[in-house]
Amino acid sequence: MKTRITELFGIEHPIIQGGMHYVGFAEMAAAVSNAGGLGIITGLTLGTPEKLADEIAKCRDMTDKPFGVNLTFLPVVNSPDYPGLVRVIIEGGVKVVETAGNNPQQVLPYLKDAGIRVIHKCTSVRHSLKAQSIGCDAVSVDGFECGGHPGEDDIPNMILLPRAADELEIPFVASGGMADARSLVASLAMGADGMNMGTRFIATKEAPVHENVKKAIVAASELDTRLVMRPLRNTERVMTNEAVERLLEKERKLGADLKFEDIIEEVAGVYPRIMKEGEMDAGAWSCGMVAGLINDIPTCQELIDGIMAEADALIRQRLTGFIDA
């Protein structure tokens, strides 16, 4: 399948593995890239330029296919060494960067001068248009269904994707609620050039997370995520657990008086305990509503091959069958 996204990134299939905290390591990215998609290493999980450089080198040893690095720009007091991270991305020969969070304009000249393609994650049409205007090569349009941060507009992909298609000139992929061939074909029908999957890739054999995390996703339904930190206008969709329900109770009790310090126990520094140790009630971790569509733990090759074969059948048989009937 050829789309503007496969052509832009030099990949076989229009499927991208989004950057995910404590998931996007070399083995994850390489497995997706080897299966014909675009794997992504999560830069801030590694933390330092030295560790990211090592991870890029490790990934390069595991695949000869294109892969990318996610750089999320956060409004924090102790900012990561973004110049250092950008430097090792360029020196490592990475050809794709997925940016997220705040406006990436400060690093775009360096990335573009190095011939790197930039895809920015956006939760609205206006942010997508801004990304286009500053020179991003593509955008990942993140609907309200997504795990992680869906923004504050609450627009689901059935509306957001066609709106993006109406406004954008650069290619875009659908993100949020993406799990299978139906997701891909629907996204293409609404104007996208591919899809970005996060939660679905956590439930794969190669995902470098504790087995408890994978089992929790398979066991979950579409009703098992919650929106937290909404009063702080930093909304995040997470898998429900004891810590999350405790956090939501604090939000209800404190109302407008809620401060980040009140919920720090449930959200700060919990990812290693969850993703590495499998402590499923340790705190809030990003998970999409798409968990309700995930019922198995395949290899990345099996997952992507299955999606592409089923997408072909959907397009050639079911959809054309309506016209020929």
pLDDT tens column, 183-217 = 999 999 999 999 999 999 999 999 999 999 999 99
Radius of gyration of the chain (CA): 19
Global pTM exceeds 0.85: yes
Position 25 in a domain:
yes
| pLDDT score recorded for residue 5 | 98
Determine the average pLDDT of the residues in 245-252: 97
Position 247 in a domain:
no
pLDDT tens column, 170-179 = 999 999 999 9
Position 24 in a domain:
yes
User: Residue 223 is encoded by which pair of tokens?
Assistant: 């009703």
User: Residue 2 is encoded by which pair of tokens?
Assistant: 């050829």
Q: What is the mean pLDDT of the chain?
A: 97
Q: What sections of the chain are H helices per DSSP?
A: 4-9, 26-34, 43-46, 49-62, 82-91, 108-113, 125-134, 157-167, 181-189, 199-202, 211-219, 242-254, 264-267, 271, 300-313, 320-324
Say how many domains are in the chain. Answer: 1
| pLDDT score recorded for residue 79 | 86
Cα distance between residue 24 and residue 47, in whole Å: 12
Position 215 in a domain:
no
pLDDT tens column, 215-233 = 999 999 999 999 999 999 9
Position 61 in a domain:
yes
pLDDT tens column, 155-175 = 999 999 999 999 999 999 999
pLDDT tens column, 70-91 = 999 987 767 899 999 999 999 9
The backbone torsions φ and ψ at residue 120, rounded to the nearest 5 degrees and listed phi first, read: -105, 135
Position 81 in a domain:
yes
| pLDDT score recorded for residue 77 | 65
Alpha-carbon dihedral sign for residues 88, 136, 117, 177: positive
Q: If pLDDT is split at 50, 70 and 90, which confidence band does 237 have?
A: very high
The domain in which residue 135 lies consists of: 4-208
Position 234 in a domain:
no
Position 315 in a domain:
no
315 contacts: CB under 8 Å, gap ≥ 6: 185
Share of the chain above pLDDT 70, in %: 99
Query: What's 166's domain CATH number?
Result: 3.20.20.70
| pLDDT score recorded for residue 251 | 97
Asked whether residue 278 carries a pLDDT value surpassing 80, the answer given is yes
Asked whether residue 324 carries a pLDDT value surpassing 90, the answer given is no
